[in-house]
Amino acid sequence: MSTIAMGHAGAEAAPAEKKGLWSWITTVDHKRIGILYGVTAFLFFLLGGLEALLIRWQLGAPDKTFLSPEAYNQLFTMHGTTMIFLGVMPLSAMFFNYFIPLLIGARDVAFPRLNAYSYWVFLFGGLVLNSSFLFNAAPDMGWFAYANLTSKQFSPGLNVDFWIIGLQILGIASLAAAVNFFVTIINLRAPGMKMMRMPMFVWMSLITQVLLLLAFPIITVALVLLMLDRSFGTHFFVPSGGGDPVLWQHLFWLFGHPEVYILILPAFGVVSEILPVFSRKPLFGYAAMVFSGCFIAFLGFGVWSHHMFSTGMGPMADTVFSLGTMLIAIPTGVKIFNWIGTVWGGSIQYKTPMYFALGFVAMFIIGGLSGVMHASPPADLQQTDSYFIVAHFHYVLFGGSIFALTAGAYYWFPKMTGRMLSESLGKVHFWLMFLGFNLTFAPMHILGLNGMPRRVYTYSAGMGFEFWNAVETAGSLILGFSFLIFIWNILKSLKSGEVATADPWHGATLEWSIPSPPQEWNFAVEPTVDGRDPLWELRRARGGTLPEPARVSGKGIHLPSPSYWPIVTAFGTALTLVGFLMHVTLWVILLGVAITMLGIFSWAFEPADH
Amino acid sequence: MALRLPSLRRVVRWVPALCFTLAVLALAGCAPDGYPQTTLAPKADFAELLDQVFRRSFQLATIVFFLVEGVLIWALFRYRGKPGDAEPAQTHGNAMLEVVWTVIPAVILVFIAIPTIQTIFKTAEVPTDNPLVIEVTGHQWWWEFRYPEYNLVTAGDMHVPTGRTVDLRMTTGDVVHSFWTPQLAGKRDVFPGRDNRLWFRTETAGVYPGQCAEFCGTQHARMAFQVVAQDSAAFVAWREGLAAVSAPVAAPAPADSAAATAVDPLVAQGQQLFAAKACVGCHAVTAVGAPTMVGPNLAGVGSRTTIASGWLPNTDENLTRWLKNPQAVKVGVLMPNLGLTDEETTALVAYLRSLSVVPAPGAVAMTAAGN
Amino acid sequence: MAHDTAHALHPPTATGLDTRKLAIWTFIGSECLFFATLISNYLVYKGESLVGPLPHETSQCMLHGQMTTCEPIFEIPLVTFGTAVLLFSSFFVVLALNGAQQGNRKKLIGWLSATVVCGLFFIGMQVYEFYHFYHKGLGYTTNLFGSSFYTLTGFHGTHVTLGVIWLATMLVLAIRGKVPPEKSLNLEIAALYWHFVDVVWIVIFPVVYLMR
């Protein structure tokens, strides 16, 4: 029998919340850091969306001059980079931060101050990357930055340097966070929560951390080599000195393909939490879901060259990477079928989170199927670098990740804020987003197959691309508008939304056993679990209803103290790398290193307790 | 498992018919008419091979799509909860089902993998049927084509004979590009210092647009070209015409010859300007044995389909705009603004127009008028 | 060092492993990929240099502004000795840890000092080697061999340096009596990192210096 403290008797008045800017700057509470991640990432996401709308406006009609070629190239590069590194990844990190400890019954992550450090480094990285706009030197060579276009000879400006340094800073944040969450999940599970009892979101998060730990070092090294080429005159990717631009492609996709799963696996996890709750039955095929996730991640490291079929690798390499890629369709299919198995025979509650989760399943199927098509090199030789690919990965990343993360936002908003999001606005949001999304991205399949290449700032009249591009632009406006409704919903609900109970959805997992929003220590009494859906088991044992958990004083609960050393150390880290950006300015680098060392030492010797 | 079999059976009856109808509709939605650069209407053997694999996977994917989405949507209606519903049966999984839905996709994939592998090896073969070798070089942002067999070089328009395999040896003069003529072949990237290969053979004469498919800098979008496929007689006339093109007034013709009277003073003025205004520093005007220069070879430019790398129709008006201020037409292009007067531009246009590939005497006027 | 963990909340962790120990193992796992990528980069460009000097072969190279014939650059005996010193330091840190766990301060301080001295010797050897190679004509950008060699070994050297700083900090703490047996885990974590740095060198040494 699970022991989960509910309706704590003799509850005392909760102490006043810590308030003010300083409390946010020095916070080490995983929930606050989660909110910081969420707000920051959402703002970056909106910026990336704005970039997308400008791109779409330019492409709405042939031969438009709304954007100059240079501006367009900066915008599409920054759109991709922003959405991946500053949008989807940190939005996932919001859920990692806020919910991994809650889902596994812990009071915080393993290293609260390291967690704060990750956030601040991420913030500084995002700011450095976007500050390039102020210097009119935003990265303009695509998020993949293929050599040798990135060499000093062909990209003399600071554009590429901003990209390198921005990504390096962000990579440090990702790696620090990955160590933290990996250890948290392995070591801080509540008593009784065996690995095979963890909520699916936690499992998918765990796999994501492993991918981060193994993939980010590769791009870090690749970026270092590129920086050395540009700033110190080496020739790693410069043909005139014997370097090979194709090596960059290998290194980039060795990182880049696992990165795709870093973006989608958390989404799989979110949906796997939501579908059971709103179908009122457990996740179908739990073990199959776990193993298919592991299998996808494992294969994800062996298929990078399917991004490079058009480079002419030879028939053997093409065959091997093609078959490997097709294999990934199998565990992915297993996941989709198990999601359908979850809703099958259920009693589906059509709440907004369920709308988005089901939208995810429906759209992800399309992205998966088009993916199988270009797993075949002959088909890919026509499809690669065409709008067909743009359609494919938007069905996976938007139809997949963004739909799922939005589902997660509607699902967990009550827990995070204590307020429900409006259901009616939520459904308007869903239908507009669904419509806008499909109008924007479905026609890209047609355009791609009919010869429209990617990354073009315009196209000529007479190529036949006019009609569908106009439709896509109209769709993108609807899509953009749907997010205005989302923002309105958030602001309105924060102010006057229905007050959320601890468990508004009749959830199955531990976060619903504590007040909304949770108190600083999460669990007044450490829970123990003996099943996969601990709260459902408890509810059954208690005859169907659970008392509302009370807020308690938390006297005697040990919590880590706030600290400003994480932000200091993060600043030092970012400054060191900015020194490299500024044409290798030695004093800036040394100052950065000094601040970082000061931060680390002060951090290490700072008393952790009050 | 709460499998409601009777209702499922009812569904199964109309699923195949529906799938077929929708697959046809989906293909119709992608109909290639009106798309000169389409991948769906292959006009050469290489593109045909790719298209067959695509069609196989597209058909299978369409069937899977309608089946899976159909089952999903059906379940969403069938199992919608009503207030007061009892807790549904708490199923946790079904090992048999897991095996089934692992094996079925694997089998489907085999049907894609087999033609895939066959085609990979077929397209990797080196043509041995006396192919016409063309050396393709990508430049920021134009394409250069060399015909070692004829010691010719041209740019923008790649002329190929129908009925003879074309064997492309491809590289780049600067950054990575990708050569793509969707109706004839798939993409092949070009790398500095590498010799990448691609081949195709078309039986259908026509003009096939293509463009660079790998992002290569500011004007990636405007790095197009045309493949002009001609029957062998027309092709021979073209290459002989190209070889014959050189500066028309370079060698003074006999005073009484027809050619001399044909020489327009404006053309002569243009030719002088071409040398005086540093055009010659970047552009060659003879096609035979000319070295690669910074700008495209201009022999035959007068009769090319397009200028400024395959996207601007080769009209006098466009040529004038281009010469007066290349940067205004194509930002970032290497060609500088030479500050030409209107008069100078007119003369240069006339001269460039005179650099036409003339298949037969008397066609000069026709070509010029045609443009 | 302070406990930056919430593990006081979960006295026994879910696995029984100490949280910080698990973290350093996780970090080391990630570090393996850094070195794997750099070693791959070195191997990919092995033999691809357009000019000398080269590691094992006589070559044409530019020295003092003129092309001359360069001798092979590597001097195996010196680096073999450095490797041995680094390996011994791994052994010494185990003895130091043993001393810390036993509460034997003399043993702790003695062996930890020896470890730090070995680390410093290795850094010194590398600095000498780089200086020497540079004067034999192998600049950082001279050829692909130089660039990939200096990048890989320099990256490792940076790790050794950070390890020495970490161990030296532990040494200062030990001298001040701040590494009692119950805090020996702090030293153990530093030692794990130090072992990793050594093990990586065991891969780099044969791949870079011995393999032809």
* Between A554 and C74, the higher pLDDT residue: C74
> Which CATH number goes with the domain that contains A429?
1.20.210.10
Residue B189 sits in the same domain as residue B272: no
Phi, then psi, of A534 in degrees rounded to 5: -55, -35
Q: Is the pLDDT of residue C87 over 90?
A: yes
Choice among A72-86, B1-15, B144-158, B324-338 with the minimum mean pLDDT:
B1-15
Phi, then psi, of B133 in degrees rounded to 5: -85, 130
Residue B151 sits in the same domain as residue B266: no
Is position B52 within any domain?
yes
Predicted confidence at residue B2, as pLDDT, reads 44
- Residue B72 and residue B65: Cα distance in Å, rounded? 10
Per-residue burial over A426-454, b if 16 or more Cβ lie within 10 Å, else e, is bebbbebbbebbbbbbbbbbbbbbbbbbb
Average pLDDT over residues B128-133: 95
Q: Of C13, C36, C140, which is closest to A187 when you measure between CB atoms?
A: C13
For A526-582, the DSSP string reads: --B--SSSHHHHHHHHTTT--PPPPP---TT---PPP-SHHHHHHHHHHHHHHHHHT
Residue A198 CB contacts under 8 Å (≥ 6 apart), including other chains? A103, A104, A185, A189, A206
Average pLDDT over residues B171-184: 96
Q: How far is A454 from chain B (nearest CA, A)?
A: 7
CA A578 → CA A131, A137, A587, distances in Å?
A: 11, 15, 11
Q: Is the pLDDT of residue B254 over 80?
A: no
Average pLDDT over residues B246-264: 52
Residue B37 sits in the same domain as residue B69: yes
Is B197 close to A384, i.e. CB distance below 8 A?
no
A488 close to A513: Cβ distance less than 8 angstroms: no
Is position B323 within any domain?
yes
Q: Per-residue confidence at A74, pLDDT binned at 50, 70, 90?
A: very high
Continuous H helices in chain B: 5-29, 45-78, 95-123, 232-244, 258-262, 265-276, 316-324, 326-329, 342-354, 363-370
Domains contained in chain A, number: 1
Residue B264 sits in the same domain as residue B219: no
* SS3 assignment, position A433: helix
Q: Report chain A residues whose CB lies below 8 A from the CB of B185.
A: 381
ipTM score of complex: 0.92
Residues 40..99 of A with a Cβ closer than 8 Å to B: which? Answer: 68-70, 73
Q: Between chain B and chain C, are at least 3 CB pairs below 8 A?
A: no
Predicted confidence at residue B361, as pLDDT, reads 45
> Which CATH number goes with the domain that contains B326?
2.60.40.420
Q: Is the pLDDT of residue A554 over 80?
A: no
Predicted confidence at residue B367, as pLDDT, reads 37
C116 close to C167: Cβ distance less than 8 angstroms: yes
Sheet with B196-200, edge to edge strand ranges:
B152-155, B142-147, B132-139, B166-172, B196-200
Reported as a single tens digit per residue, the pLDDT across A424-434 is: 999 999 999 99
Is position B239 within any domain?
yes
Is position B3 within any domain?
no
Residues 300..319 of B with a Cβ closer than 8 Å to A: which? Answer: 311
Inform me whether the C-beta atom of residue B277 falls under 8 Å from chain A C-beta atoms.
Answer: no
Residue A66 CB contacts under 8 Å (≥ 6 apart), including other chains? A54, A57, A58
Is A242 close to C45, i.e. CB distance below 8 A?
yes
Residue B150 sits in the same domain as residue B181: yes
- 3-state SS, one letter per residue, for A394-415: HHHHHHHHHHHHHHHHHHHHHH
Average pLDDT over residues A592-600: 94
Q: Of B34, B81, B187, which is closest to A385 when you measure between CB atoms?
A: B187
* Between A547 and C33, the higher pLDDT residue: C33
Residues spanned by the domain of A375: 21-551+558-605
Predicted confidence at residue B23, as pLDDT, reads 63
Q: Is the pLDDT of residue B360 over 60?
A: no
Average pLDDT over residues C101-110: 93
Q: Of A334, A383, A385, which is closest to B102 when you measure between CB atoms?
A: A334
Q: How far is A300 from chain C (nearest CA, A)?
A: 15
- Residue A241 and residue A251: Cα distance in Å, rounded? 19
Q: How far is B26 from chain A (nearest CA, A)?
A: 10
> Which CATH number goes with the domain that contains B119?
1.10.287
Average pLDDT over residues B210-227: 95
Average pLDDT over residues A422-446: 96
Residue B147 sits in the same domain as residue B213: yes
Q: How far is C159 from chain A (nearest CA, A)?
A: 15
Domains contained in chain B, number: 3
Q: Is the pLDDT of residue B179 over 60?
A: yes
Q: Would you tell me how many other CB atoms lie within 10 Å of the CB of residue A286?
A: 21
Predicted confidence at residue A11, as pLDDT, reads 45
- Residue A396 and residue A283: Cα distance in Å, rounded? 22
Reported as a single tens digit per residue, the pLDDT across A503-530 is: 999 999 999 999 999 999 999 888 999 8
A369 close to A320: Cβ distance less than 8 angstroms: no
Hey, what are A46's tokens? 């909106």
Task: Show which of B194, B213, B243 is a domain's final residue.
Answer: B243
* Between A175 and B286, the higher pLDDT residue: A175
Phi, then psi, of A385 in degrees rounded to 5: 60, 20
Average pLDDT over residues B12-24: 62
- Taking the alpha carbons at both ends of chain B, their separation in whole angstroms is 72
Q: Of B50, B178, B213, which is closest to A378 when you measure between CB atoms?
A: B50
Q: Is the pLDDT of residue A410 over 60?
A: yes
Per-residue burial over A245-262, b if 16 or more Cβ lie within 10 Å, else e, is bbbbbbbbbbbbbbbbbb
Structural domain C35-210, CATH architecture? Up-down Bundle (1.20)
A214 close to A243: Cβ distance less than 8 angstroms: no
Phi, then psi, of B139 in degrees rounded to 5: -130, 155
Residue B65 sits in the same domain as residue B28: yes
Reported as a single tens digit per residue, the pLDDT across C152-183 is: 999 999 999 999 999 999 999 999 988 899 98
Is B81 close to A323, i.e. CB distance below 8 A?
no
Report the mean per-residue pLDDT for chain A: 93
- Residue B338 and residue B325: Cα distance in Å, rounded? 8
Residue B107 sits in the same domain as residue B12: yes
Is position A15 within any domain?
no
Is position B85 within any domain?
no
Residue B148 sits in the same domain as residue B178: yes
- Residue B200 and residue B205: Cα distance in Å, rounded? 13
For A449-474, the DSSP string reads: HTTPBSS-S---TTSS-HHHHHHHHH
Predicted confidence at residue B5, as pLDDT, reads 43
* Between C26 and A604, the higher pLDDT residue: C26
CA A476 → CA A427, B330, C167, C183, distances in Å?
A: 19, 28, 57, 59
Q: Is the pLDDT of residue A4 over 90?
A: no
CA A131 → CA A159, A578, C104, distances in Å?
A: 11, 11, 55
Predicted confidence at residue B262, as pLDDT, reads 58
What residue ranges do the domains of chain C occupy? 35-210
* SS3 assignment, position C7: coil
Residue B364 sits in the same domain as residue B248: yes
Residue B252 sits in the same domain as residue B165: no
Residue B249 sits in the same domain as residue B366: yes
Per the listing, tokens 């276009």 go with: A149
Is B53 close to A376, i.e. CB distance below 8 A?
yes
Is A234 close to C13, i.e. CB distance below 8 A?
no
Q: Is the pLDDT of residue B269 over 60?
A: yes
Q: How far is B174 from chain A (nearest CA, A)?
A: 8
Chains that touch C (3 or more CB pairs under 8 A): A
Predicted confidence at residue B247, as pLDDT, reads 53
Q: Report chain A residues whose CB lies below 8 A from the CB of C2.
A: 604-608
Instruction: Looking at mean pLDDT, say which of A258-272, A531-545, B240-254 comes out highest.
Output: A258-272
- Taking the alpha carbons at both ends of chain C, their separation in whole angstroms is 45
Predicted confidence at residue B1, as pLDDT, reads 41
Q: Is the pLDDT of residue B371 over 90?
A: no
**How big is the A-B interface in CB pairs under 8 Å?**
284
Predicted confidence at residue B4, as pLDDT, reads 45
Q: Per-residue confidence at B17, pLDDT binned at 50, 70, 90?
A: low
Per DSSP, what are the bridge partners of residue B44?
A: B202
Residues spanned by the domain of B266: 244-370
Reported as a single tens digit per residue, the pLDDT across A231-252 is: 999 999 999 999 999 999 999 9
Chains that touch B (3 or more CB pairs under 8 A): A
A301 close to A259: Cβ distance less than 8 angstroms: no
Task: Show which of B189, B221, B243 is a domain's final residue.
Answer: B243
Predicted confidence at residue B68, as pLDDT, reads 96
Predicted confidence at residue A10, as pLDDT, reads 44
Is B124 close to A318, i.e. CB distance below 8 A?
yes
Is C147 close to A607, i.e. CB distance below 8 A?
no
Reported as a single tens digit per residue, the pLDDT across A205-232 is: 999 999 999 999 999 999 999 999 999 9
Q: How far is A367 from chain C (nearest CA, A)?
A: 30
Reported as a single tens digit per residue, the pLDDT across A266-282 is: 999 999 999 999 999 99
